[in-house]
Amino acid sequence: MALLEVDNLSIMFGGLRAVDDFNLRVEKGELYGLIGPNGAGKTTVFNLLTGVYKPNEGVIRLDGVDITGHKTVEINHDGIARTFQNIRLFQDMSVIDNVKVGLQNQYHYSTAASIFHLGSYKKVEKEYDDAAMELLSVFGLENERDYKASNLPYGQQRKLEIARAMATKPKLLLLDEPAAGMNPNETGELMKTIELIRSKFGITILLIEHDMKLVSGICEEVTVLNFGRILKQGKTREVLQDPEVVKAYIGE
Amino acid sequence: MKKKKLSRQTWTYIVVLIVYAVVEIFEYAGLLSSHLTGLLVPATYYAIVAVGLNICVGILGELSLGHAGFMCVGAFSSSLFSILTENSLPTAIRFPLAMVIGIAVAALFGFLIGIPVLRLNGDYLAIVTLAFGEIIKNILNSLYLGYDSNGLHASFTSQMDLGMEADGTMLMNGPMGISGTPRDANFTVAVVMLLIALFVAQNLINSRDGRAIMSIRDNRIAAESVGINITKYKMLGFVVSAAIAGAAGVLFSHSISTLQAGSQYFGYNISILILVYVVLGGIGNISGSVIAAAVLYLLPELLRALSSYRMLIYSIVLIVVMLFNWAPAARNWRNRVLASIRAKFGKKGAKA
Amino acid sequence: MLSFLNYLISGISLGSIYAIIALGYTMVYGIAKMLNFAHGDFIMVGGYAIFTCMITLGMNPFVSILIAMAVCLVIGVTTEKVAYKPLREAGSPLAVLITAIGVSYLLENLALLIFGSNPKSFTSVVSWSGITLAGGQLHIQGVTIVTILVSLAVLVVLQWFVHKTKEGQAMLAVAQDRGAATLMGINVNHTISLTFAIGSALAAIAGALLCSAYPTLTPYTGAMPGIKAFVAAVLGGIGSIPGAMIGGIVLGIIEILARTYISSQLSDAIVFGILVVVLLVKPTGILGKNIQEKV
């Protein structure tokens, strides 16, 4: 059984079918790419998977559990975490606090302990610190722990956003154009980081990307979307060489 | 860094205590005019409301223009309690209980008002909090309340309509308010409450719940995506903020002889005044709120010698400070100056 | 029944004043995206300007109103240029709000210094005594009729201006998307100044009508009507011109009827209560549009 199973997913905006009859199987541990020209509906698929939009039709199953129609918050609890195309950090909080917010649902103490710093506060905060530092060091951000998130350079902001998503211990990680705005060096580094978190945490990753080098470099399988519909689906190398896909990308 | 943060929190307490000690010494030595002495408690409770409002504006990121309303319910509920128990409880028990009641009632109102209000955004939220503040003030200002052997009587029209027995006691007298609240609050009590308010506010910021609240402020959509319960934490921030304003209300009602729900005490203009303190002290900067409230409250009062010019000067200062602090041109100029100073001393300034 | 009609008419009249102020509020908010807290104080400035011209200097009421409009216009545009414009690009609406509060304090205290805190008794700018209907049982004051007619005229002219003139179209464009408007070659700063000019001049008219109907003038005369007008603008759906009109009149009627039939002290609470209820049912006001954040 695949980790993520999507069947016949559709959504209408007004009269427009932004995503139409979308199907997807992502196996556990797989690195899967979702590509397509601008406006093809890729981010809409992410928004459907994370409950930002409710689909008009279709079913989404994660690890065999039907999560269709769940709210964004519940979907994170179900096991999906994401990053955003236009980075959405908690910009006025420190780098480490960004990650700690992601850890929120794993380490608990009461509101009273929050307000009065009583009881388990110290002990659990230590656990927060340790877990957050461990994640930050995976992304090479341990020295920036006390920087304000918005003061980080662009590439590190992208990494922090992934770190924060990883902090929620997801089964499936959705990356929305992680390499957007990066130079080739940064992209190369990002590819290594993505490979690293997959092997270290055994996580499944679905990513949207325009950088074909990144897609062909790390994705085992891809789906090509065009005008909201699936154009091609399959092994990365075969799909990228398909004349129809080339045409959709480069035009006539 | 953790240590540094803690020390900053501790420093705030130390500064408050030093100021308190200096003021007490001056007062003991007879160096303070009675006018100035009379300003100490109000300055402190404005500082407390400013701390409370800063949790709402700076930490939760929602603009409230109704915090005077929370002060108002805290003041009236605690005042009623103190009057009713004045003869049966000693001060040492009565006043802390009154404090708890005032805070609890303000928190309850924060919760009830928060249910509708927190569904709104931005300026809509601001105007609705203003509306609630005015509603609270208006209702308390026209409420007549008294008790006699038959129990409690209430009316919105007049004392006559209460229909009380001759031996009845008036509690609330419409626009005339409540008189005879025991004057249990003094500068020392006010400073203790300020320290508690600071403790709560700064603890909250450095905690699991506080981080959740701030994450909603910074990016609601991202907060949802990492599983933060938006409704719950927005409400928590709002309720804590209201509760602290309520505590200030308790101090207020227990430091004056007649408590009235007039505009000059609890109107929207007071909420705005406090907002000015919060913004000038630095949004999200808790200790800044205390300093701004104390200075800005005392400043016009101390400028009384300038009589009618004082508020004019105050308003001009306010505008100029805002322009200087926020206008991009002024900021660029300031950054250039700061950069040249830094260059001289060879420090780096990228850290948060 | 006749007395109800009478109250209804005075409600519409008060509401018309709110509407004129609310029109200024809603335009400024819609286009400059700022809550101009000092807007209510322009009413007061207008009131004092008319008072000075008409009573102190003995000028013709109509000329006095024109001068007051000019005074408010100049103060409004100057305020915008000096106090708001430098902050507008700073990206903090809160900073602009606080500055507006500072401007409000400034205007009130200037008035206090120049005219003192004693209320000035105002003579109505409308000398017509009004009409008597139903055999002398229903008397409608001249100022009431004039107020209602003026507000309707203002609404019609504004609607025409916004939808039919080039400057008005520019306003709509800036209101919708400032960046795109700039790209289309619209002078955004000029458009915002024009909006302030119109809003401030309207406040002067509202000042004339308000002080004629409620003839005491103090430095704080404009504050509460200003807040109520903002409530009216929100009630009608902020940014919408017909919405401001509807919101203003609804608010005026509710206020007068509540004051008459329920309690004069609770009328404000009822007015604000209505706002709360309307926003809960329709969070963007009666004619407001809902805009969702894009993910």
Helix, strand, coil percentages, rounded to 5, for chain A: 40, 25, 35
Residue of C nearest to B329 (CA): C86
Tell whether C173 is covered by a domain.
yes
Can you tell me whether residue B257 is helix, strand or coil? coil
Are A41 and A228 contacting, i.e. CB atoms less than 8 angstroms apart? yes
- C209/chain A closest Cα distance in angstroms: 47
Tell whether C236 is covered by a domain.
no
| The pairing of beta strand B144-148 with beta strand B151-155 | antiparallel
Query: Which residues, 6 or more positions from A221, have their beta carbon under 8 angstroms from its beta carbon?
Result: A26, A30, A32, A33, A233, A234, A235, A236
Nearest to B209 by CA among B242, B244, B235: B235
Instruction: Give the count of alpha carbons within 13 A of C90, CB side only.
Output: 25
Can you tell me whether residue B147 is helix, strand or coil? strand
Q: What confidence score (pLDDT) does residue B351 get?
A: 43
Q: What is the mean pLDDT of residues B50-69?
A: 95
Contact A73 B350 (CB under 8 A): no
Give A147's contacts in chain B (Cβ within 8 Å).
350-352
- A191/chain C closest Cα distance in angstroms: 25
Q: Does B152 touch chain A (CB under 8 A)?
A: no
Q: What confidence score (pLDDT) does residue B341 get?
A: 81
Given a cut of 70, is residue C154 above it in pLDDT? yes
Given a cut of 70, is residue B348 above it in pLDDT? no
Q: What confidence score (pLDDT) does residue C295 get?
A: 66
Nearest CB to A165 within list B199, B212, B226: B226
Contact B275 C230 (CB under 8 A): no
Q: Residue B282 class from Cβ within 10 Å (0-12 exposed, 13-18 middle, 19+ buried)? A: middle
In sign, the C-alpha dihedral spanning A55, A59, A61, A67 is positive
Q: What is the mean pLDDT of residues B42-60?
A: 95
In total, chain B counts a number of residues equal to 352
The phi and psi torsions of A222 (rounded to 5 degrees) equal: -135, 155
Confidence band, pLDDT 50/70/90 cuts, at residue B224: very high
Class (C level, CATH) for B41-312: mainly alpha
* Partners of chain C (3+ Cβ pairs below 8 A): A, B
Confidence band, pLDDT 50/70/90 cuts, at residue B1: very low
**Per-residue DSSP letters for A54-121?**
--SEEEEEETTEE-TT--HHHHHHHTEEE--SS----TTSBHHHHHHHHHTTTS---HHHHHH--TTH
Alpha-carbon gap, residue B76 to B141, rounded angstroms: 11
Instruction: Give the count of alpha carbons within 13 A of C92, CB side only.
Output: 24
Nearest CB to B319 within list C37, C93, C103: C103
Residue of C nearest to A82 (CA): C295
| Mean pLDDT over the full length of chain C | 89
Residue of B nearest to A115 (CA): B204
Q: Where are the domains of chain B?
A: 41-312
Domain ranges, residue C155: 21-127+140-226
Q: Does C295 touch chain A (CB under 8 A)?
A: yes
Contact B57 C35 (CB under 8 A): no
Residue of C nearest to B321 (CA): C99
Q: What is the mean pLDDT of residues B71-82?
A: 96
Q: What percent of chain C has pLDDT over 90?
A: 54
End-to-end CA distance of chain C: 55
- Cβ of B178: how many Cβ atoms within 10 Å? 24
Tell whether C26 is covered by a domain.
yes
pLDDT digits (tens, 9 = 90+) for B90-125: 989 999 999 999 999 999 999 999 999 998 887 788
Q: What confidence score (pLDDT) does residue A186 get?
A: 87
Token pair 């800063």 is found at: B54
Q: What confidence score (pLDDT) does residue C281 get?
A: 86
End-to-end CA distance of chain B: 11
Alpha-carbon gap, residue A106 to A114, rounded angstroms: 15
Q: What percent of chain B has pLDDT over 90?
A: 56
Q: Does A76 touch chain B (CB under 8 A)?
A: yes
Q: What are the structural domains, with CATH classification, of chain A? A: 1-79+170-252 (3.40.50.300), 90-168 (no CATH)
Confidence band, pLDDT 50/70/90 cuts, at residue C196: very high
Tell whether C61 is covered by a domain.
yes
Alpha-carbon distance values, B22 to B28, C182, C227 (Å): 10, 57, 42
In total, chain C counts a number of residues equal to 295
Are B107 and B242 contacting, i.e. CB atoms less than 8 angstroms apart? yes
Alpha-carbon gap, residue C104 to C40, rounded angstroms: 8
| Mean pLDDT over the full length of chain B | 89
pLDDT digits (tens, 9 = 90+) for C45-98: 999 999 999 988 988 988 999 999 999 999 999 999 999 988 887 777 778 888
Per-position pLDDT tens, chain A of length 252: 799 999 999 999 888 889 999 999 999 999 999 999 888 899 999 999 999 999 999 999 999 999 999 999 999 999 999 999 999 999 999 999 999 999 999 999 999 999 999 888 999 999 999 999 999 999 999 999 999 999 999 889 999 999 999 999 999 999 999 998 888 888 998 999 999 999 999 999 999 998 888 999 999 999 999 989 999 999 999 998 888 888 877 664
- A145/chain B closest Cα distance in angstroms: 9
ipTM score for this prediction = 0.92
DSSP β-bridge partners for residue A57:
A10
Query: Which residues, 6 or more positions from C183, have their beta carbon under 8 angstroms from its beta carbon?
Result: none
Both tokens assigned to A35: 């590509």
Q: What is the mean pLDDT of residues C93-104?
A: 87
pTM value is: 0.90
Structural domain count of chain C: 1
Quote the distance between the C-alpha of residue A193 and its chain's center.
14
Tell whether C277 is covered by a domain.
no
Amino acid at B303: L
Query: Which residues, 6 or more positions from A118, have their beta carbon under 8 angstroms from its beta carbon?
Result: A112
Q: What confidence score (pLDDT) does residue B245 get?
A: 97
Q: Does C105 touch chain B (CB under 8 A)?
A: yes
Are C101 and B268 contacting, i.e. CB atoms less than 8 angstroms apart? no
Residue window 78-107, chain A: list those with CB within 8 Å of chain B.
81-82, 84, 88-94, 97-98, 100-102, 104-105, 107
Residue window 191-250, chain B: list those with CB within 8 Å of chain A.
199-200, 203-204, 206-212, 214-215, 217-219, 221-230, 236, 240
Both tokens assigned to A110: 């009461």
Q: What percent of chain B has pLDDT over 70?
A: 95
Query: Which residues, 6 or more positions from C92, have their beta carbon under 8 angstroms from its beta carbon?
Result: B326
Given a cut of 50, is residue C287 above it in pLDDT? yes
